[in-house]
Structure 1
Amino acid sequence: MSDNDSQSTPQNAEKDPQDWTTGDEPVTGPQLSYLQTLAREAGREVPEGLTKAKASELIDELQQKTGRGA
C-alpha cells in the first residue's frame, strides 16, 4: 500500500454550490436543459436568470420531488 492510499481525498467530494468560485456565472446549457426536463415532470417553471449555483440547488430539489435523485 502506498502513502497516497491513506491520504487520498474522495474523488466525489461535493462542495456546496454557494462555495463554487464560478457559482455566480450564468446557468450552463446542460444544466438548463436538465432543469427544463425536471421542471416539466414536477409541474414547475424554470426561473429566468439562474446562476450555476442556483441551478444546481434547483436541480437537487427537483430530483427529490421527481424521484430522479440518487
Structure 2
Amino acid sequence: MTDAHNPKMDAHPAGNTEKDPSDWVSGDDAMTGAQASYLKTLSEEMDAPDAFEEGLTKAEASRRIDELKGRQKSNA
C-alpha cells in the first residue's frame, strides 16, 4: 500500500464547493426546478413574494435563496 495523500483526511480541505454564482459556467441557464420550488417556499415563508420570479437564472435564484436564508437566520 502506498502513502498517497488522501484529501478526505485534511483538517481544512480546499474549498471548491463554494463558488460565487456569478462565476458558475451554467449560471446563465434557467433556474432548476428544485431552485424554483425552494425559492417559492422561502419567499412565502419570509413574506417576500417579490423574491420569487419566473425566468430567473441559476445564479440569480441562488443569490435570492442565500439572501432569504440569511433573513431566516436573523429572524430566528
TM-score by length of structure 2 reads: 0.72
Deviation at 1:44, TM superposition (A): 1.2
Q: Indicate yes or no: 2:39 matched with 1:35.
A: yes
Matched position secondary structure for 1:31: helix
Gaps spanning 5+ residues in structure 2: where?
none
Post-superposition offset of 1:2: 3.0
CA distance in 1, matches of 2:57, 2:35: 10
Residue 64 of structure 2 corresponds to 58
Instruction: Please report how far the alpha carbon of residue 37 of structure 1 lies from its aligned counterpart in structure 2 after TM superposition.
Output: 0.8
Give the unaligned 5+ runs of structure 1.
none
Q: CA RMSD, aligned part only?
A: 2.3
TM-score by length of 1: 0.78
Residue-pair matches, total: 66
Larger Rg: 2
Equivalents in 2 of 1:47, 1:16: separation in Å?
A: 21
